């Protein structure tokens, strides 16, 4: 029974039986005690040996007690400053109860001081108060001060220790939250990083990693990585991208300001190492604090690390670990070489995050003007920075590719919509032309414009009108040269080609360093004046003004009838405004923007070719477009190529910009023959298709129409009217003129 375990007893017996067994065992023990009493009297030698063993145990117990006392004294945090004998005597003369009361009062006030510091975002002060409270709690638990004062406050001290342990996590969380904010200043970053460095005994390298992780969290928060941006307004997207640029620039610049020698963190750690409880607000005004012991009044944060290193019961570090990097309040600043690799790794990982967000954010912007305004804002923000001696261009490395891709999509969409409207208006004008009968001699003056659209002969054989107003009378002469900035030369050149003075960008300064050479500015002014006068005279529709004008201009005006002019003019005007909007304020991004514009306009010319090809196919099909409608489409194509300058000016300006970028010279802008040849080569395909369409339309109208039969009947009647050869020749000539 005695060998059975407790579990087996309760498994095999009831409660009453167990109680009976316990009673039997107690009785057995008592009986054995009686037997031992008899044996003691008989075996006195055994008693003597037992007494010797007890004395030996007493000696060992005293030895263990002494060692425990030494261990306890080694674990107590003491100030490194030596107390003067007078101070020691005064401290011994103090009331022990007041000594304990002052420490308890300070320990209770520490929690409130920590929360106040956190509310004021003074994280370094919060850490200082926390370490002071922990020092007090540990000191009062390990020393015998309370026993000497006959005060039992261990429960209170333990509760404050638990409260401080909870506050430690709160301080760390508040610091990390501050680092992850997007609108934080360098001073606040320094406060949070220094507090974490001391609180968690981090090395300076670990603090740098903490800083970079926090800035990555700030980027993720502002980019809305977990949110859908489809519901965000364009203004919100602009603000997000602006803040993202500021975070990136601040991070690159703050690395140097925070972690290099003589940086902000190093200065703040030096201040924290000199802090003592005497600097607490209201410390001098509290009478009870006069009774604080010397090791509390002169407490230093560095004393914690020193006591750990000097009096720790653990073995001293070996030679292999003596070169461990210092941490906590003793952490050393980093050199520029040590900062370069972590910063570069962070930068590369950040690029992927930013590119992913940009592609999502820019897809929510469908307005070209808003997009260009956002690009201008970011270009002004993303100035070149040189952290750690490395040149970093935020725009080229992060924003440029995403913005160019989105710009191409917006231009394709916007210009595609403009061309769709142009094509619909043109077909709406062209198709009804073949459904109206040939014009008669009785024509109302109000139908003159419509007859010009329907009569192919009037278009083909028309001579220039003399009623066009004089070019000089329509536009005043401005001989002053333009003030054009070098970064906006392409847009200024485009505006001069199309004759739109309102599209010429304003130069931010008139200094010779930022402006183009004087001869080129003079030529641009002449080009702008000439183009403005030419297109103003072309669009003038009042025939009551008379004067001398250029023969070529009058021919062009005659070839484009009023209805077709309105359609082509609207297309050209919207095209020019779209190109000017896309190229406005491009600054250093001007070359890739014009490259995108060149590609988009080239594809727009391909769409014109497709439209003309469809018109040729319709001529061969029953129920499709007839000769007059197809000829109207051909006239529209020639008008866009030779009369309205939007397409040609875009190609020429973009080509000149790309060639200038290669040659690094302004001479490309004055090479008129080369630029003209580029435009002719680009438009050759459309010219060929439009000429073919015009030829097929005229040929079909001539062969399939009644013109040949009318000519034949009139010639027969002219020959049969008179037998005189001279009179017959006069009749044939008059018939030819009539036809």
Which structure tokens are listed for 632? 């109207």
Among the candidates 41, 75, 109, a domain finishes at 75
What is the DSSP code string of 506-527?
Answer: PPS---TTTBPPHHHHHHHHHH
Residues 502 and 583 in one domain: yes
Torsion of CA 439, 443, 445, 449, to 10 degrees: 0
Alpha carbon of 389 to those of 256, 392, 397: distances in Å? 10, 9, 17
DSSP-derived 3-state class of residue 385: strand
pLDDT digit string, tens, across residues 668-706: 777 888 888 888 899 999 999 988 888 888 777 777 666
**pTM higher than the cut 0.85:** no
C-alpha distances out from residue 45 to 34, 56, 290, Å = 19, 17, 64
Residue 376 pLDDT > 60: yes
Cα radius of gyration (the chain): 48
Instruction: Look over the chain and give the mean of its residue pLDDT values, rounded to a whole number.
Output: 74
- Please check whether residues 410 and 497 belong to one and the same domain: yes
Q: Is 342 part of a structural domain of the chain? A: no
Q: Where a domain ends, among 275, 298, 321?
A: 298
| 275 plus 422 within the same structural domain | no
Host domain of residue 44: 3-75
Same-domain status, 179 and 262: yes
Going by the DSSP 8-state scheme, the letter that residue 313 receives in this structure is: S
* Torsion sign (Cα): 707, 710, 712, 718: negative
Q: Is residue 651 part of a domain?
A: yes
Q: How far apart are alpha carbons 704 and 215 in whole angstroms?
A: 77
Please give the average per-residue pLDDT across 470-489, as a whole number: 52
- Predicted confidence at residue 724, as pLDDT, reads 55
Same domain, 673 and 734: no
Spell out a b/e string for 525-557, using b for 16 or more CB atoms within 10 Å of the CB, else e.
bebbbebbbbbebbebeeeeeeeebeeebbebb
Tokens of 256: 């140097």
Instruction: Please check whether residue 371 lies inside any domain of the structure.
Output: no
Examine the domain organization and report whether 163 and 205 are in the same domain. Answer: yes
The number of folded domains in the chain is 4
3-state class (DSSP) for residue 467: coil
- For residue 316, pLDDT beyond 80: no
What's the pLDDT at 603? 94
Query: Whole-angstrom Cα distance, residue 730 to residue 722?
Result: 11
Does one domain contain both 512 and 492? yes
- Please state the rounded mean pLDDT for residues 582-593: 84
Residue 476 lies in a domain: no
Most confident of 125-129, 553-557, 715-719: 125-129
Residue 585 CA: distances (Å) to CA of 269, 369, 411, 517, 582: 46, 12, 16, 20, 9
Whether 244 is in a domain gets the answer yes
The full DSSP string for 86-111 is HHHHHHHHS-HHHHHHHHHHHHHHHH
For residue 606, tell me if it sits in a domain. Answer: yes
pLDDT at residue 588 tops 80: no
Name residue, tokens 């001696």. Answer: 389
Are residues 132 and 191 located together in one domain of the fold? yes
pLDDT digits (tens, 9 = 90+) for 562-576: 888 889 989 999 999
Predicted confidence (pLDDT) at residue 280 exceeds the cutoff of 80 = no
Residue 574 resides in a domain: yes
Regarding whether 719 and 590 lie in a shared domain, the answer is no
- The verdict on 154 and 272 lying in the same domain is yes
Share of the chain above pLDDT 70, in %: 65
Q: Are residues 113 and 39 in the same domain?
A: no
User: Using one digit for the tens of pLDDT, what is the confidence trace for 318-360?
Assistant: 444 445 678 888 888 888 888 888 888 898 888 888 888 888 8
- Half-sphere exposure of 539 toward its Cβ, with a 13 Å CA cutoff? 17
**Same structural domain for residues 605 and 661?**
yes
**Which of 259, 281, 298 is the endpoint of a domain?**
298
- Which residues are paired to 392 by β-bridges? 385
Buried residues in 50-79 as b, exposed as e (16+ CB within 10 A): eeeeeeeeeeeeeeeeeeeeeeeeeeebeb
Tens digit of each residue's pLDDT (9 = 90 or more) over 640-662: 888 888 998 899 989 988 888 88
Beta carbons of 339 and 208 less than 8 angstroms apart: yes
pLDDT band at 138 (very low <50, low <70, confident <90, very high): confident
The verdict on residue 307 lying in a domain is no
Beta-carbon neighbour count of residue 321 at 10 Å?
A: 8
- CA gap 531, 542 in Å, rounded: 20
451 pLDDT band, cuts 50/70/90, is: very low
E strand spans, 344-406: none
Buried b / exposed e along 221-240 (16+ C-beta atoms within 10 A): bbbbeeeebeeeebeebbeb
Burial of 599 (0-12, 13-18, 19+ CB in 10 A): middle
For the chain, give the percent of residues with pLDDT over 90: 15
Residue 307 confidence class, pLDDT cut points 50, 70, 90? very low
């Amino acid at each position: 029974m005695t060998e059975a375990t407790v579990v087996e007893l309760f498994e095999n017996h009831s409660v009453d039986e167990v109680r009976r067994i316990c009673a039997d065992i107690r009785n057995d023990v008592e009986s054995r005690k009686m037997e031992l009493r008899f044996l003691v009297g008989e075996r006195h030698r055994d008693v003597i040996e037992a007494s010797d063993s007890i004395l030996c145990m007493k000696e060992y117990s005293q030895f263990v007690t002494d060692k425990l006392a030494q261990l306890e004294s080694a674990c107590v945090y003491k100030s490194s400053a030596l107390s003067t004998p007078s101070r020691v005597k005064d401290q011994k003369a103090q009331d022990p109860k007041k000594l304990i009361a002052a420490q308890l009062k300070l320990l209770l006030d520490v929690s409130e001081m920590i929360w106040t510091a956190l509310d004021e975002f003074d994280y370094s002060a919060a850490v200082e108060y926390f370490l002071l409270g922990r020092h007090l709690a540990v000191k009062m638990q390990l020393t015998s001060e309370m026993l000497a004062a006959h005060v039992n406050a261990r429960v209170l001290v333990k509760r404050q220790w638990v409260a401080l342990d909870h506050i430690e996590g709160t301080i760390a969380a508040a610091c990390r939250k501050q680092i992850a904010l997007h609108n934080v200043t360098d001073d606040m970053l320094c406060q949070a990083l220094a507090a974490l460095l001391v609180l968690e005994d981090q090395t300076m390298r670990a603090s740098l990693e903490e800083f970079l992780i926090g800035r990555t969290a700030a980027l993720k928060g502002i980019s809305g990585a977990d949110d859908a941006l489809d519901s965000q307004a364009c203004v919100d997207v602009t603000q997000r991208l602006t803040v993202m640029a500021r975070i990136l620039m601040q991070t690159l610049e703050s690395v140097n300001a925070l972690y290099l020698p003589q940086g902000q963190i190093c200065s703040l750690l030096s201040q924290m190492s000199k802090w003592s409880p005497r600097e607490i607000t209201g410390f001098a005004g509290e009478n009870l604090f006069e009774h604080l012991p010397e090791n509390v009044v002169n407490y230093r944060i560095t004393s914690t690390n020193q006591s750990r290193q000097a009096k720790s019961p653990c073995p001293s570090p070996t030679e292999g670990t003596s070169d461990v990097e210092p941490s906590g309040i003793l952490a050393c600043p980093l050199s520029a070489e040590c900062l370069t690799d972590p910063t570069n790794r962070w930068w590369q990982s950040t690029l992927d995050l930013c590119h992913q967000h940009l592609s999502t954010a820019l897809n929510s912007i469908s307005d070209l003007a808003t997009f260009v305004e956002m690009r201008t804002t970011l270009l002004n923000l993303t100035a070149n920075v040189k952290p750690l001696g490395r040149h970093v261009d935020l725009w080229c490395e992060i924003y440029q590719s995403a913005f160019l891709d989105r710009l191409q999509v917006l231009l394709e969409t916007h210009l595609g919509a403009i061309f769709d409207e142009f094509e619909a208006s043109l077909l709406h004008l062209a198709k009804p032309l073949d459904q109206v009968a040939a014009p008669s001699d009785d024509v109302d003056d109000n139908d003159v414009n419509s007859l010009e659209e329907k009569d192919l002969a009037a278009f083909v054989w028309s001579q220039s009108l003399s009623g066009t107003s004089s070019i000089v009378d329509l536009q005043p002469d401005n001989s002053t040269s333009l003030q054009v900035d070098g970064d906006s030369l392409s847009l200024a050149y485009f505006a001069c080609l199309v004759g739109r003075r309102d599209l010429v960008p304003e130069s931010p300064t008139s200094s010779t360093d930022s402006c183009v050479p004087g001869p080129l500015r003079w030529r641009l002014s002449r080009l702008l004046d000439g183009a403005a006068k030419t297109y103003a005279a072309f669009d003038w529709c009042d025939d009551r003004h008379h004067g001398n004008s250029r023969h070529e201009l009058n021919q062009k005006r005659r070839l484009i009838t009023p209805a077709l002019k309105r359609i082509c003019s609207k297309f050209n005007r919207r095209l020019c405004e779209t190109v000017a909007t896309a190229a406005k304020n491009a600054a250093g991004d001007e070359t890739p923007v014009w490259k995108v514009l060149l590609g988009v306009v080239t594809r727009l010319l391909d769409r014109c070719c497709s439209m003309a090809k469809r018109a040729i196919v319709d001529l061969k099909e029953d129920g499709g477009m007839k000769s007059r409608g197809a000829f109207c489409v051909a006239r529209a194509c020639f008008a866009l190529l030779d009369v309205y300058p939007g397409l040609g000016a875009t190609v020429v300006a973009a080509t000149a910009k790309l060639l200038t970028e290669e040659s690094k010279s302004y001479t490309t802008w004055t090479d008129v023959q080369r630029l003209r040849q580029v435009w002719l080569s680009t438009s050759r395909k459309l010219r060929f298709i439009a000429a073919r369409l015009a030829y097929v339309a005229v040929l079909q109208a001539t062969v399939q129409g009644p013109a040949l039969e009318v000519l034949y009947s009139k010639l027969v009647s002219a020959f049969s009217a008179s037998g005189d050869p001279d009179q017959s020749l006069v009749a044939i000539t008059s018939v030819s003129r009539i036809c």
